[in-house]
Amino acid sequence: MITCENLVKIYKTAEVEVVALQGLNLQLNEGEMVAVIGNSGSGKSTLLNMLGGLDRPSAGRLTIAGKDMLKLTDKEQNVYKRETVGFIWQNKSRNLVPYLTARENVEIPMLLHDRKKKRLRAIELLEAVGLGSRTGHKLQQLSGGEQQRVAIAIALANRPKLLLADEPTGALDTQTSDQIMALLRKLNREMGLTIVIVTHDLDLAKQVQRVVLIRDGRTSSEMILRTDEREAEDASGEETELDTHIEYAVMDRSGRIQVPERYLEAVGAKDADKVLLRLEEDHIVLRPIAQAGKTGG
Ligand SMILES: Nc1ncnc2c1ncn2[C@@H]1O[C@H](COP(=O)(O)OP(=O)(O)OP(=O)(O)O)[C@@H](O)[C@H]1O
């Protein structure tokens, strides 16, 4: 569904050039649901803007649903934005009109011309997001979580193949955020919708099967939901909370990897310019130089 190869985005302003994406690679299959996570400034929103056709990459390759995004004409890009992709933003004013009802809000972006069909489709969508009983409520009469559900219904209005969400739960409390995430998972499962969610919240990200970590405009590692049911025990034999995801570092063709920052921090190698590498029979040991003399592997 989505292939990013060596994707580069450079923003040029009067004084400086910012390289927001510097050779990002990402492959996403149709029907996958992925969370993209990274520190502020790592390039998450830039990536989402490229995927949504809101902006064009500077170099590299980006194909989405068979379309070469670097070669689209402006007209083709507009059709793509209208028909292939749906957006959910954290900032509600970008999604919603407060003085209209939930149903009227959902009807706005619809490409259907028949008023009755529009109305029926809007109600159907509001039912799908769990708001069947609120279709006639004005937006300002709805809670934050309910408003975000309306935003999701709007994003689905033109039957997109790809749903992009930028911090969709950023303004919501934990319980409401979990409900919105559960709704997105349901839509992914039941409609086969491909979903990309940008967040800086690792706990939230881990509610989906695949988490892609971006660092300095590149994919640095991925976490995939564990499928084994092993129970973890700590040294004292007590059960500890099992990490739900296994982390994989992304490796390029030259064998370069980015070790997750928190791993380096944990072993005191964050600022090191070299680490000791040792090949064991079936694994590779990486440790800070200061500890290199110690035994063990
Ligand atoms: N329109 C723009 N013009 C110039 N620089 C930009 C523009 N948009 C983003 N940048 C820069 O590109 C880099 C990546 O920004 P981006 O917004 O993609 O990061 P992010 O990971 O989404 O951050 P956050 O979590 O804070 O939203 C940053 O250094 C940012 O300042």
Give 247-269 as a 3 state SS string.
EEECECCCCCECCCHHHHHHCCC
Q: Which of 58, 57, 61, 39 is nearest to 48 (CA)?
A: 57
17 within ligand 1 shell (Cβ under 6 A) = no
**Helices 144-155 and 174-191, interaxial angle, to 10°?**
20
Question: Is it the case that residue 89 has pLDDT exceeding 50?
Answer: yes
Lowest-confidence range among 11-20, 50-59, 61-70, 229-238?
229-238
Cα–Cα distance for residue pair 6/9, rounded to 1 Å: 10
Q: What is the average per-residue pLDDT within 55-84? A: 94
Q: Quote the tokens at residue 119.
A: 């109305």
The reported pLDDT for the residue numbered 113 is 79
51 within ligand 1 shell (Cβ under 6 A) = no
Question: Is it the case that residue 297 has pLDDT exceeding 50?
Answer: no
The correct CATH number of 1-84+194-258 out of 3.40.50.300, 2.60.420.10, 3.90.320.10, 3.90.25.10 is 3.40.50.300
Pocket mutation for ligand 1, best pick of 10, 17, 18 (most atoms within 8 Å of C-beta):
18
Question: Is it the case that residue 126 has pLDDT exceeding 60?
Answer: yes
The reported pLDDT for the residue numbered 258 is 82
Q: What is the average per-residue pLDDT within 203-207? A: 89
15 within ligand 1 shell (Cβ under 6 A) = no
Q: Which of 233, 251, 195 is nearest to 28 (CA)?
A: 195
Question: Ligand 1 centroid to 54 CA: how many Å?
Answer: 14
Question: Ligand 1 centroid to 267 CA: how many Å?
Answer: 30
The reported pLDDT for the residue numbered 291 is 53
Q: Which of 139, 55, 56, 60 is nearest to 105 (CA)?
A: 139
The reported pLDDT for the residue numbered 161 is 94
The reported pLDDT for the residue numbered 232 is 47
For atom 29 of ligand 1, which residue has the closest CA? 41
The reported pLDDT for the residue numbered 256 is 85
Cα–Cα distance for residue pair 195/6, rounded to 1 Å: 21
Question: Ligand 1 centroid to 237 CA: how many Å?
Answer: 46
The reported pLDDT for the residue numbered 234 is 47
Question: Is it the case that residue 262 has pLDDT exceeding 70?
Answer: yes
Between 250 and 17, the more confident residue is 17
Question: Is it the case that residue 248 has pLDDT exceeding 90?
Answer: no
Q: What is the average per-residue pLDDT within 253-260? A: 84
The reported pLDDT for the residue numbered 171 is 79
The reported pLDDT for the residue numbered 245 is 84
Cα–Cα distance for residue pair 62/55, rounded to 1 Å: 12
219 within ligand 1 shell (Cβ under 6 A) = no
The count of other CB atoms within 10 Å of the CB of residue 137 is 15
Question: Is it the case that residue 295 has pLDDT exceeding 70?
Answer: no
Q: 154-185 pLDDT, tens per residue?
A: 999 989 999 999 999 887 899 999 999 999 99
The reported pLDDT for the residue numbered 77 is 94
pLDDT band at 253 (very low <50, low <70, confident <90, very high): confident
Which residue blocks in the chain are alpha helix, DSSP H? 44-51, 74-83, 102-107, 115-128, 144-155, 174-191, 202-205, 261-266
Domain boundaries, given as residue ranges, for the chain: 1-84+194-258, 264-297
Which amino acid, residue 240?
Answer: T
The proportion of the chain whose per-residue pLDDT surpasses 90, expressed as a percent, equals: 63
Question: Is it the case that residue 59 has pLDDT exceeding 80?
Answer: yes
- What are the CA-CA distances from residue 243 to residues 101, 196, 273 (Å)? 43, 22, 30
How big is the CA angle at 224 (ends 222 and 230), to the nearest 5 degrees?
135
- Residue pair 154/96 in contact (Cβ under 8 Å)? The answer is yes
The reported pLDDT for the residue numbered 103 is 96
In this prediction the pTM is 0.86
Q: Which of 30, 27, 23 is nearest to 8 (CA)?
A: 23
Q: What is the average per-residue pLDDT within 63-90? A: 92
pLDDT band at 257 (very low <50, low <70, confident <90, very high): confident
pLDDT band at 280 (very low <50, low <70, confident <90, very high): very high
Cα–Cα distance for residue pair 285/275, rounded to 1 Å: 10
The reported pLDDT for the residue numbered 202 is 87
40 within ligand 1 shell (Cβ under 6 A) = yes
pLDDT band at 199 (very low <50, low <70, confident <90, very high): very high
